[in-house]
Structure 1
Amino acid sequence: MGPVRVRNYIQQPRSVFKYALDSELITASIRFGPGFERPSKKAIRLDRAKKGPQMFEAAEIRALVNATTVQGKSGPKTVRAGTALRAMILLGVNCGFGNADCGTLPHSALDLEGGWVNYHRPKTGITRRCPLWPETVGALQTALAERPEPSDPADAHLVFTTRLGGSWHKDTSDTPISNETRKLLSALGIKGSRNFYALRHTFETIGGEAKDQVAVDHFMGRARRRGRCVPRAHQ
């Protein structure tokens, strides 16, 4: 495990026992001992630096979006993303959408005729409205036309369903979106520890060069106070 995951696993039981103390379910705070300390911020920064850049370059994104010919073991082969994944990749670089954003996106959030998506960020509940590129609109129209019928009626409102009609979203890091993106990156020979969420980092990095951080924060669904973005640690 990396230090971020270790920190999360340590924080979860700490939170449970703090709630128990605050709710008077236990009479004294729990002593966790020196071996149960969360990794330091320095350790997390060093780990992130070791992983390298967590974004995609323009040529890599074009390879993800467009059908690309690569050299396979038995000769050249064409690699392309499925229609749903291609639309989600475009939402990632167009609007800074992450896994949960795409996996839970409802039909009601789309205005394809006007070229907009209006969907709060599931993590924060903050409203955001993002203009869609023509390429993104086209990809979404294709994905909707080829969308498998949901196997669960509760998923009928979702824009994207998997090949078997399931939801693309799970409350874990190992989601169908992550798995399919990993397969696509491997088939294209794109190396590194990046995955689907790196598209959101790409949007943030390139969008920041436009010198309109207010717009970037709005599209990414980040809270702002007194004209400034709330640091990630507090979101």
Structure 2
Amino acid sequence: MSVHKASGLWCRVRKGKRYYFERVVDDPEGTKSLDQWLEILAGREPKRSGGDLSLKDLCNHWMDHKKAKLDAGDLVQDTYNEYFHACELVMESINKELEVDRIQPSDFSRLRAKLAKRFGPVTLGKHIGQIRSLFNFGKKAGLLEREVNFGLDFEKPAAKRLRKQRALRGQQDFTAAEIKQLLAKANTNWRAMILLGVQAGFGNRDVAELTEAVIDFSTGWIDYPREKTAVARRVPLWPETVEALRNALNQHPGGSKYLFVGDRGRDYTSEKHTGNNRITGAFKPVLKAAGFPETGRGFYCLRRTFQTQAEECGDLVAVKSIMGHTPSENDMSARYRQRVSDQRLKRCVDTVHDWLFKQESDHE
């Protein structure tokens, strides 16, 4: 048993994990702390005197809970990474050794102020929701005797502010001419990724984690459950998209199971705990080469473009199916619907194809 000087707590390290016990001032001989250590060795969860639980301990319990859900298939890796990042954010602002029952509303106010300087209102709201879930978990799991007092300030941004932010961002889709402009400047990989975005609503993660195994080049279909939502996704591909995917596959350097690999031999996935991938940053030079600002619109705007144009087919169910949207729990039609016919899916993507290429063919 040793003393952790920064916190003034008795501690012990086992298999690379540090365990914290009583305050030295409250347990000068370490007797209570030793008893708690023996509880750990016996496979039981110890509890400090007075029910004290440090912020770091709470985060560890929460992530253990999320890891179990990840291992069971109830949580995807990106979401797990986002929860991990939320723990990092809160421990950057609040002393991780501080007992949770000593955290004050003023601590949450300072935390929110720091987050607001780093993130826009949408991301800020997401992080606040995740952090509140962390502390609410502590109460529900029986780790805390009472609910945490977040105070008056630790709330998500108001809906009005979010609407203003969306208005300031301006147009979040691409015109047909702009997409052709992007395709004209795109290399082999990016041509395929852009076409997947505009003809199938593929987002950043969808293209970053795409594998050859889910593409049937002979029939021109992609058929797989979307990783983010586990919703079945069956997509008829345009001839232009099939050709672009073949070209990307032919130039694949090897070394990655994913289809798209950058110039330096790295794919576009990320091992960082932010839940992000490398598509966002890598798309900026593509925008610049095509004459667009590097900020304002990103790769995900191609998904918005598909949604906007595909709805013109009049079959919103087919659009949602191709997008891989998660149906609402109250959507009984989605529960009973077993499939969407290939004819409906083709009509959906053909609507977008006509929008993008019909004007061009009419002049030929």
Instruction: Point out where structure 2 has 5 or more consecutive residues left out of the alignment.
Output: 1-118, 336-364
In the aligned structure 1, how far is the partner of 2:124 from the partner of 2:276?
16
**Aligned alpha-carbon RMSD (Å):** 1.8
Secondary structure at the aligned position of 1:117 is classed as: strand
Q: 2:128 aligns with which of 10, 16, 21?
A: 10
Equivalent position of 2:66 in the other structure: none
Larger helix share, 1 or 2: 2
Aligned to 1:106: 211
Alpha-carbon deviations, 1:15-52, whole Å to 9, x = none?
11111111111111111111211112221122111111
Letter in 1 for 2:315: D
Give the drift of 1:146: 0.5
Candidates 199, 216, 220, aligned match of 2:319: 216
| TM-score normalised by structure 2 residue count | 0.55
Aligned: 1:45 with 2:181: no
Rounded to whole Å, the distance in 1 between the matches of 2:274 and 2:235 is 26
Describe the superposition over 1:24-82 as per-residue Cα deviations: whole angstroms up to 9, x where unpaired.
1111111111121111222112211111121000011001112xxxxxxxxxxxxx222
The one-letter code sitting in structure 2 at the alignment partner of 1:39 is P
Quote the residue 1:187 is aligned against.
289
Provide the aligned length of Structure 1 versus Structure 2: 211
Please name the residue that 1:71 is paired with: none
Matched with 2:348 is none
* 2:309 equivalent in structure 1: 206
Distance in 1 of aligned mates of 2:138 and 2:156: 20
Cα distance between partner residues in 1 of 2:192 and 2:289 = 18
2:142 is aligned with 1:24: yes
Superposed CA deviations along residues 130-156 of structure 1, whole A, max 9, x for unmatched, are 000000000000000001222xxxx42
- Conserved in 1, the CA contact under 8 Å of 2:188 and 2:248? yes
- Matched residue type, 2:268: W
Residues 136 and 147 of structure 2 are in contact (CA less than 8 Å); yes or no, is this contact kept in structure 1?
yes
- Name whichever of 39-48 and 131-140 sits farther off: 39-48
Equivalent residue of 1:35, what SS? coil
Pick closer, same or farther for the CA change 1:46–1:228 going to 2, 3 Å.
farther
169, 176, 179: which one aligns with 2:278: 176
Give ranges in structure 1 of 5+ residues lacking alignment.
67-79, 230-235
1:87 alignment partner, SS class:
helix
| Residue 165 (structure 1) aligned to one of 265, 270, 273 | 265
CA distance in 1, matches of 2:159, 2:229: 23
Superposed, 1:124-139 pairs within 5 Å as 124-139=229-244
Helix, strand or coil for the counterpart of 1:129? strand
CA distance in 2, matches of 1:15, 1:163: 40
Shift of 1:174: 5.7
Native 8 Å contact 1:204 1:216 kept in 2: yes
Q: Distance in 2 between matches of 1:3 and 1:199?
A: 22
**Segment drifting more, 174-183 vs 80-89:** 174-183
Distance 2:230 2:123 in 1: 24
Task: Give, in whole Å, the separation in 2 of the partners of 1:93 and 1:31.
Answer: 46
- Partner of residue 332, structure 2: 226
SS at match of 1:31: coil
Assess if the C-alpha contact under 8 Å between 2:208 and 2:277 holds in 1.
no
CA contact (8 A) 2:252 2:261 kept: yes
Kept in 2, the 8 Å contact 1:181–1:195? The answer is: yes
Per-residue deviation, 1:89? 0.7
**Distance in 2 between residues matched to 1:228 and 1:39, nearest whole Å:** 32
Is the Cα contact below 8 Å between 1:81 and 1:184 reproduced in 2? yes
* Whole-Å separation in 2 of the counterparts to 1:228 and 1:41: 29
Conserved in 1, the CA contact under 8 Å of 2:205 and 2:277?
no
